[in-house]
Amino acid sequence: MAALVKCFVAVLILNLVTRGFCGCSVGDLTIGTVRSGKEVQGKAEWTVTVTNNCICAQSRIILYCGGFQSVEHVNPAILYKQGEDCILVHGTSLPASASVTFSYAWDPPAIFLPKSSVIAGC
């Protein structure tokens, strides 16, 4: 009986340690938007940086971007709008601690919110 309890405790501790090392989620993506100071066709230009603060890579990153528009070309390899969602870097992996940046021009600024991702490499 004591061996069974020790085994259970060991599995529980291992589970907690493993989750501690990779308790990442889409919430580990931070999105910062700043005005660049430029204007494009009379619209303010904004620079957006998406950073993966997880210790693991994240892929298939989807951002909510309802209402997003731009008079400035945004490289679809970086940000591709699909309805109310935007797909970041064609769904490929954003490594741990890495960032991706893009600029667009519109007033008012769009609101980008992390919606979903797949945690990889943990």
Domains along the sequence of the chain with CATH: 23-121 (2.60.40)
pLDDT band at 22 (very low <50, low <70, confident <90, very high): low
9-27: average pLDDT: 55
DSSP structural state of residue 10:
H
For the residues 39-57, what does the mean pLDDT come to?
Answer: 97
**pLDDT per residue over 58-104, tens digit each?**
999 999 999 999 999 999 999 999 999 999 999 999 999 999 999 99
Cβ neighbours of residue 71 closer than 8 Å, sequence gap 6 or more: 40, 41, 43, 105, 106
Residue-averaged pLDDT of the chain: 86
Tokens of 30: 């931070």
Give the chain's largest Cα–Cα span: 75
DSSP label at residue 56: S
- The Cα–Cα gap between 82 and 85 comes to 5
